[in-house]
């Protein structure tokens, strides 16, 4: 199960991505926002992030205007490695090397076609482990030191 959430700036792109995921048969849970009224991105970052760290959802997608605020907020939650990507190479390697569990997108910086390619790339790539696992462990260690 994939968690997805956004603020008002990401609403239209979230709708498009959910339509594409539905067509591909990818199961997702929509954590809102559910309209284009102005709202606060940290709330949606938290809802999606909690669903990922609890294990309810395996990965998440977060969208705001730039993808910046919502990724900063998500990365405050223990266990979240949210990567803001605007190209497919980054989306692939943040899975392979960083074991990112949330993809953040900027709806005002990336077109919908590219955004969906980035989503597909992120979902199909796998963590390589090995020396990268050691580095991700070091990130966890930094997190635990606060």
* Interface with ligand RB5, residue 64, by CB under 6 A: yes
* Helices (runs of H) and strands (runs of E) counted in the chain: 6, 5
List of residues 6+ apart from 94 with CB closer than 8 A = 81, 83, 85, 100, 103, 122
Q: Which of residues 28-57 bind ligand RB5 (CB under 6 A)?
A: 41
* Interface with ligand RB5, residue 7, by CB under 6 A: yes
* Interface with ligand RB5, residue 65, by CB under 6 A: yes
Rounded Cα distance between 85 and 60, Å, is 13
The nearer residue to ligand RB5, 24 or 108, going by C-beta atoms, is 108
Supply 84's token pair: 């803001």
Catalytic residue among 6, 39, 64, 85: 64
Q: Which of residues 4, 9, 59, 119 is near ligand RB5 by CB under 6 A?
A: 9
Binding stretches for ligand RB5 (CB under 6 A): 7, 9, 41, 64-66, 68-69
């Amino acid at each position: 199960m994939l968690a997805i959430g956004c603020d008002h700036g990401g609403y239209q792109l979230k709708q498009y991505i959910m339509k594409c995921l539905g067509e591909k048969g990818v199961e997702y849970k929509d954590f809102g926002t559910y309209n284009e009224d102005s709202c606060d991105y940290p709330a949606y970052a938290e809802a999606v992030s909690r669903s990922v760290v609890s294990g309810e959802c395996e990965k998440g997608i977060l969208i705001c205007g730039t993808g910046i605020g919502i990724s900063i907020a998500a990365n405050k939650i223990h266990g979240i490695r949210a990567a803001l990507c605007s190209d497919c190479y980054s989306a692939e390697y943040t899975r392979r090397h960083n074991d990112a569990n949330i993809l953040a997108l900027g709806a005002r910086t990336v077109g919908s076609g590219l955004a969906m390619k980035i989503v597909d790339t992120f979902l199909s790539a796998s963590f390589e482990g090995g020396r990268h696992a050691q580095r991700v462990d070091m990130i966890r260690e930094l997190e635990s030191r606060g």
